[in-house]
Amino acid sequence: MSNATQNEQIVHSVSFLDRDSLTIPKLRVTNADGTVIEGATLPKIDETLAKRMYDTCVFTQVLDERMLGAQRQGRISFYMTCIGEEAAIIGSAAALDSQDVILAQYREHAALRFRGFTTEQFMDQMFSNEKDLGKGRQMPIHYGSSELNYHTVSSPLGTQIPQATGVGYSMKMNGHKNVAICYFGEGAASEGDFHAGLNMAATLKSPTLFFCRNNGYAISTPAEEQFKGNGIASRGVGYGMHTIRFDGNDMLAVLLATQAAREFAIENSVPVLLEAMTYRVGAHSSSDDPSGYRSKEEENEWREQDPVARFKTWMLAQGWLTEEEDQALYTKYREEVLAQVKVSEKVAAPELEELFNDVYDEPTPILKKQMADLKAHIKKYPESYPKTAGRIK
């Protein structure tokens, strides 16, 4: 049909659609206490995968706790935690193939860890030292790894959304049986890039998973002030995409939904929208204080629905984890993270020239002049440029 309508019904009196016209199912596999709901479909999961997922949960919790502390001590300039959203991120990362490409927003470091990013690589990025893969050019937490198929995080919201459409499309063109996965917050879904990216993906049939972490807030703006639709899932349907909503604090539901979405996207060469219903338990970032815009009661309510504790109960019930092993994991990672902080903060800063490299294959004459001017300036006023200025050859 030329005007692309489907499922039309001719009526003879006024009949509006509203946000309640669409009832969206929400997938849940485990109860809040970690027990499996009777009759629920289980995801594909074995002991090895489950242990890797739990290991990533513990590492992430330790990293978040220690690095927020390091920021408070003035050792790094900025930090963002993913407390409360571990299941949404790790459950989805665990459903992917290592050749699937991840385009993250910024709160998905657990997915990078799941892929194998080392403690040293995390720390070198946060301390912007010369071993940082990003050569010290980015704020802490803007990770990237081409080896692990993880695009570098961009600060401007929504950047990765149309890019993911392109990455997915290129996989299809090259005949790869893989997907791109694009993580974004419900706040970022207000950006124009979201609409452009999703519409392009739907019309061009790009095998991309658009994974929304609906955690209730965009810094201080609650979701109900950000948009009036039925979450983000309703928009997927609007773009003609297969869409699935699930309990984002339920590790098994996230895994099941993402496995199914991935299979569907590859088999049919189409995008899928996923909406994980979760909550940002921590502050937006180390620069934010949520006490100004939400209550402690609300936070505590969600703190009690900790997704890691829920998954742990299930792991214990499977016999794939003991309390002693759990304690040992936390101890191991606390020591490892602390030791790595001490090493990475002492590694030299990148050479100043790195600021100018990689923009073009060969620096242009203007860039070369700017570099020479900057070096001369720093040499003239060395006391104004402590070690953060980068080394000059």
Ligand X SMILES: Cc1ncc(C[n+]2csc(CCOP(=O)(O)OP(=O)(O)O)c2C)c(N)n1
Cα–Cα dist 77/288, whole Å: 13
142 is catalytic: no
User: N- to C-terminal Cα distance for the chain?
Assistant: 66
Decide: 169 and 206 in contact? Cβ < 8 Å: yes
Choosing from 66, 235, 280, 310, the catalytic residue is: 280
The DSSP output letter for 246 is E
CA neighbor of 336 nearest in space, from 55, 59, 52: 59
307 is an interface residue for ligand X by CB under 6 A: no
Q: How far apart are CA 151 and CA 160, in angstroms?
A: 9
Query: Catalytic one among 109, 115, 284, 310?
Result: 284
Nearer to ligand X, 149 or 159 (CB): 159
Which letter does DSSP use for residue 122 in this model? H
Q: Map residues 336-365 to x or -, x wherever contact with ligand X holds by CB under 6 A.
A: ------------------------------
Q: By the 8 A CB rule, do 124 and 131 touch?
A: yes
For residue 14, give the amino acid letter.
V
The token duo for 295 is 């209550």
In the block, residue with structure tokens 């009661």? 297
Task: Please tell me the count of residues contacting ligand X according to CB under 6 A.
Answer: 15
User: Is the CB of 80 or the CB of 171 nearer to ligand X?
Assistant: 80
Among ligand X, Mg ion, none, the one that 129 touches (CB under a kind-dependent 5 to 8 A) is none
Q: 107, 235, 310, 312: which one contacts ligand X (CB under 6 A)?
A: 107
Residues facing 275 on adjacent strands = 212, 245
Give the integer Cα–Cα distance in Å for 80 and 283: 8
In the list 134, 187, 207, 271, the residue contacting Mg ion (rule: CB under 5 A) is 187
- Known catalytic residue: 303? no
Q: Work out what residue 131 binds among Mg ion, ligand X, none; the CB cut-off runs from 5 to 8 Å by kind.
A: none
Tell me which residue has its CB nearest to ligand X. 185
- Interface residue with ligand X among 94, 153, 164, 188 (CB under 6 A) is 188
Q: How far is the CB of 238 from Mg ion (least distance, A)?
A: 20
Active-site residue, 280 included: yes
Query: Is the CB of 105 or the CB of 121 nearer to ligand X?
Result: 105
* Strand order, beta sheet including 180-185: 26-27, 242-247, 272-277, 208-214, 180-185, 101-103, 150-151
Residue 156 interacts with ligand X (CB under 6 A): yes or no: yes
Q: Which is nearer to ligand X, 61 or 129 (CB)?
A: 61
Binding footprint of Mg ion on the chain (CB under 5 A)? 185-187, 215, 218
Active site residues: 280, 284, 293
